[in-house]
Structure 1
Amino acid sequence: MREVLYDQQWAETAPNLELYYMYRGVKKKDGLRYDITVIPPLMLGQEFTKTKGHGHAGAYGEIYIVLGGQALYLLQKYANEKIEDVYVVKAKKGDIVVIPPYYGHVTINPSKKETLKEANWVSVSCQNIYNSFIEKQGACYYFAGKGWIKNKKYDKVPKLRFEQPLKKWQPKLLKRLSP
């Protein structure tokens, strides 16, 4: 994780912390895998706790459901090795976030007090790719105590926009998405 953090000075001397817990393959159904991720409320230097960030090999999407706490999902789309689109979805318990195909994404726990618990459904054939996040020291924006910070390792980055999670059809979707 050190290689994707904003605060590299902190990362150099930081203890080896367990930043999040992933439970993969809790359930498998119809070619899909149900995972659970738990992200405690920590600060990584100036930055809020997050996942490493990854994209998918191929045209795979992913569906996330916030089980507890709150989350910021940063999604970024590459085109010709440049970021073509980037946006954030702020979600809370019960909200659903769809990661479209060809978008890399990072999950952030923006709380200093509350643990984030999320679940996701993804194809069992989907392979995660971490290289683009490692090569650029993280996503194109970081979320720190002072707000959003543009990652200077990216040449050009679109202005960050904000989208809403899925709420319409929520009760039906949640029932269908629960294992």
Structure 2
Amino acid sequence: MEIRKKPEIRFLNDMKRVVYDQEWLKKTANFEIYYMYRGIKTKGELRYDITEIKTKMLGKEFPKTKGHEHLKTFQEVYKVLKGKAIFLFQKYRNKTIEDVYAVRAKIGAIVIVPPYYGHITINASKEELKIANWISKKCKNSYNLFEKRQGACYYYTRSGWIKNKNYKKVPKLRFKKSLKKMPKNLDFLAPH
């Protein structure tokens, strides 16, 4: 699919508050990390987006999205179109991380963001990552927690997973499998 929309570009300067390697950040010039093409198509209350995450490392850390939480109970469905992704999900309630898990996903894999989980997407390979998502047009995102705590509760680095010390208590990271097929009915993405 050829994308004819102009992307919203996320630069390193936009990500300063969520990068693990702050020493590297001080010495590095601004560059493009990922592109977001929003509203490529719509279906009723839903919007279809594509995100392309480049391969340039963020110091010791693999390239990633900034991370956000959905306001209210909105869910989201992702499909990997190119490359290999790791989706990290964290449930933050009562000033603590109640749950955290990751999903490794290859081309064709489907991943659902459950209600009340913040999430980031990590490009875990040496090729550009391209993912598509369906989400409600009414969904609003909050980046506050990720900016306040300098990212998600785990960072994925060349040395593996590292706990983010800006969170008081972080459960052990567990892994779940992706889905093989897109749900036939996406009505659950547009709560009434």
TM-score normalised by the chain length of structure 1: 0.93
Q: Could you tell me which residue of structure 2 aligns to residue 128 of structure 1?
A: 141
Equivalent pair of 1:94/1:174 in contact (CA under 8 Å): no
| CA–CA distance in structure 2, aligned partners of residues 11 and 27 of structure 1 | 36
Q: Name the amino acid aligned to 1:45.
A: G
> Following TM superposition, by how much is the alpha carbon of 1:160 offset from its aligned partner in structure 2, in angstroms?
0.2
Q: Could you tell me which residue of structure 1 aligns to residue 97 of structure 2?
A: 83
> Following TM superposition, by how much is the alpha carbon of 1:174 offset from its aligned partner in structure 2, in angstroms?
7.7
The percent identity for this pair of structures is 60
Instruction: Please point out which of 56, 62, 68 is paired with 2:82.
Output: 68
Q: Could you tell me which residue of structure 2 aligns to residue 146 of structure 1?
A: 159
Equivalent pair of 1:71/1:109 in contact (CA under 8 Å): yes
Q: Could you tell me which residue of structure 2 aligns to residue 56 of structure 1?
A: 70
> Following TM superposition, by how much is the alpha carbon of 1:99 offset from its aligned partner in structure 2, in angstroms?
0.3
Structure 2: tracts of 5 or more residues without a match: 1-14, 187-192
Q: Report Cα offsets for 1:93-127 as digits up to 9, x if no partner.
A: 0000000011000000011x211000000000000
Instruction: Please point out which of 12, 25, 46 is paired with 2:60.
Output: 46
Q: Could you tell me which residue of structure 1 aligns to residue 21 of structure 2?
A: 7
Structure 1: tracts of 5 or more residues without a match: none
Q: Report Cα offsets for 1:53-111 as digits up to 9, x if no partner.
A: 00011000000000000100000001112100000000000000000011000000011
Q: Could you tell me which residue of structure 1 aligns to residue 131 of structure 2?
A: 118
Instruction: Please point out which of 105, 108, 112 is paired with 1:94.
Output: 108
> Following TM superposition, by how much is the alpha carbon of 1:13 offset from its aligned partner in structure 2, in angstroms?
1.7
Of stretches 7-16 and 66-75 in structure 1, the one that deviates more from structure 2 is: 7-16
| CA–CA distance in structure 2, aligned partners of residues 164 and 131 of structure 1 | 28
Q: Report Cα offsets for 1:125-170 as digits up to 9, x if no partner.
A: 0001000000000000000000000000000000000000002xx2
TM-score normalised by the chain length of structure 2: 0.87
- Paired residues in the alignment total 172
Equivalent pair of 1:68/1:115 in contact (CA under 8 Å): yes
| CA–CA distance in structure 1, aligned partners of residues 146 and 44 of structure 2 | 30
| CA–CA distance in structure 2, aligned partners of residues 174 and 81 of structure 1 | 33
| CA–CA distance in structure 1, aligned partners of residues 54 and 63 of structure 2 | 7
Q: 2:33 aligns to what SS in structure 1?
A: coil
Q: 1:119 aligns to what SS in structure 2?
A: strand
| CA–CA distance in structure 1, aligned partners of residues 163 and 88 of structure 2 | 12
